[in-house]
Amino acid sequence: MALSDGLLRVRLRAIEYGAPGINLYTFESLDGQPLPPYEPGAHVDVVMSPDLLRQYSLLWPAAEPSQYRIAVQLAEVGKGGSRKLHFESVVGATYEVSAPRNHFPLTPSDEAFHLFAGGIGITPIISMYRQLKASGRTVFLYYWAASAQHMLFHEALCHEMEGVQLFHTRCGGEAPPRLKDVIATLPHSAQLYCCGPQGMVDEFDQLTLDRPEANTHRERFSATTDALQAGDSFRVRLQRSGLTLTVPAELSLLQVCEAAGVDVAYSCEEGVCGACEVKVLSGQVEHRDTVLTPKQRERSESMMICCSRGVDDSLVLDL
């Protein structure tokens, strides 16, 4: 089942309609054996073609141990991963996927959990809600979408209404509460989780700046606009390798490390998945990823070398 490069070969078992522009895809192992387990918040890489790989959140729980299920929203812009799945995928076709990774896990706490979702961001959030409810935790879910029709899992959420609030933003009438209206009512001890469009997560970051870092958690599902743009050239010292490398404006630190023969892990190359995170020993970093929190960026204890860059020639990494 596992390939030499760590990928898993799976078969596309089913394609289902989820909401306008959103399909649900179920993959299964070729031999019926269990796939690697995962917790809510985890995602997998799906290889679309030799030069195209995309990350998607896994729905929890899986219907069967041998299956993974993802929700994919058709994107009008991007590299075309969603378009390949929406317009070119065929049930029965084989794909390669990574083992699950989780940079958006639930943190154990005795406090109440408040989960915020926008659009396709409901995918990890509903998984968290279901696990927390199953374990007897106090949990509230807030979901914003254009209308009931545009809400993924709308019917299921209506049947799980305890602690669930659904907000329609384009239905006329009285305007629904906004993210800031809800967060303003919550105690600082509450555990807050947010996944949604970039603007929503940016707002969440601003609204939670004065809250304990351990109580605020977010996940973005797209790269920032400047993630892959050229930047100033800089030099970096790789402590364990004993190398000093120059990173030109048009190349990423990851690309330069690979060219120098340095063994580095990576996946998305857009600062979304967190696979290329490296410890920073000293120096300033221009963070361009969507994985680190604002406070983690301030501390600059690590960086995603696929997109983030050194500010000057003082950067030293644990590589």
> Which range among 25-29, 47-51, 160-164, 265-269 shows the weakest confidence by mean pLDDT?
265-269
pLDDT at 231: 81
CA distance 201 to 83: 24
What structural domains does the chain harbor? 8-97 (2.40.30.10), 113-220 (3.40.50.80), 234-317 (3.10.20.30)
For the residues 90-102, what does the mean pLDDT come to? 95
For the residues 59-82, what does the mean pLDDT come to? 90
Report yes or no: 205 and 294 within 8 Å, Cβ to Cβ.
yes
pLDDT at 35: 97
pLDDT at 228: 63
Kindly report, residue by residue over 190-242, the tens digit of the pLDDT.
999 999 998 999 999 999 999 999 999 999 876 665 666 778 899 999 999 99
Q: Is the pLDDT of residue 20 over 70?
A: yes
Q: Is the pLDDT of residue 260 over 50?
A: yes
Q: For the chain, what percent of residues have pLDDT higher than 90?
A: 76
Q: Which residues pair with 245 in a beta bridge?
A: 236
The mean predicted confidence, pLDDT, of the chain is 91
Widest Cα–Cα separation across the chain:
64
For the residues 91-116, what does the mean pLDDT come to? 96
pLDDT at 3: 42
Reduced 3-state DSSP string for the chain = CECCCCCEEEEEEEEEEEECCEEEEEEEECCCCCCCCCCCCCEEEEEEECCEEEEEEECCCCCCCCEEEEEEECCCCCCCHHHHHHHHCCCCCEEEECCCECCCCCCCCCCCEEEEEEHHHHHHHHHHHHHHHHCCCCEEEEEEECCCCCCCCHHHHHHCCCCEEEEECCCCCCCCCCHHHHHCCCCCCCEEEEEECHHHHHHHHHHCCCCCHHHEEEEECCCCCCCCCCCCCEEEEECCCCEEEEECCCCCHHHHHHHCCCCCCCCCCCCCCCCCEEEEEECCEECCCCCCCHHHHHHCCEEECCCCEECCCCEEECC
Q: Which among 200, 184, 198, 137 is positioned nearest to 163, based on CA atoms?
A: 137
- pLDDT band of residue 2 (cuts 50, 70, 90) is very low
Of residues 273 and 17, more confidence is placed in 17
Q: How many CA atoms lie within 13 A of 144 on its CB side?
A: 19
Rounded to two decimals, the pTM is 0.83
Report yes or no: 1 and 33 within 8 Å, Cβ to Cβ.
yes
Residue type, 92: G
